[in-house]
Amino acid sequence: MAQAIAVLAAVLASLAFIGWLIYRAVTGKSLKAHVVTYGVACLTGAYTFAFFLSMAIPQLVKIVVSILLGIALIFLAAYLQRRRQPYKP
């Protein structure tokens, strides 16, 4: 049951993110690379969480691994955002 809810939430979040990207493109608003990277990282974390819920290991291990993967993805998104800072003389 929890796996089905997690997959449903991930799919709906994917559709909402894609719709938001299309809306931003149609209205002519700019998109920054770090925003898209952060969104993709969040969606990947949701799918990873759904994947680990489907595995046959104890629930505590699933939760801990999902949290650690989420932290890693958020750190990666923040690192990629800061990597391209404009040059300040």
Segments forming the whole domain that contains residue 53: 2-83
Domain count, the chain: 1
What are the residues whose beta carbons fall under 8 Å from the beta carbon of 47, sequence distance 6 or more?
10
The answer to pTM > 0.75 is: no
* Residue 89 domain-assigned (yes or no): no
What is the model's pLDDT at position 28?
Answer: 84
* Residue 30 domain-assigned (yes or no): yes
Token match 């939430």: residue?
Answer: 9
* Residue 88 domain-assigned (yes or no): no
* Residue 22 domain-assigned (yes or no): yes
* Residue 67 domain-assigned (yes or no): yes
* Residue 53 domain-assigned (yes or no): yes
* Residue 20 domain-assigned (yes or no): yes
Q: Which residues of the chain have pLDDT under 70?
A: 2-3, 60, 84-89
* Residue 61 domain-assigned (yes or no): yes
Q: Would you say 65 and 18 are in contact if contact means Cβ atoms under 8 Å apart?
A: no
* Alpha carbons 76 and 70: distance in angstroms, whole number: 10
* Alpha carbons 80 and 31: distance in angstroms, whole number: 15
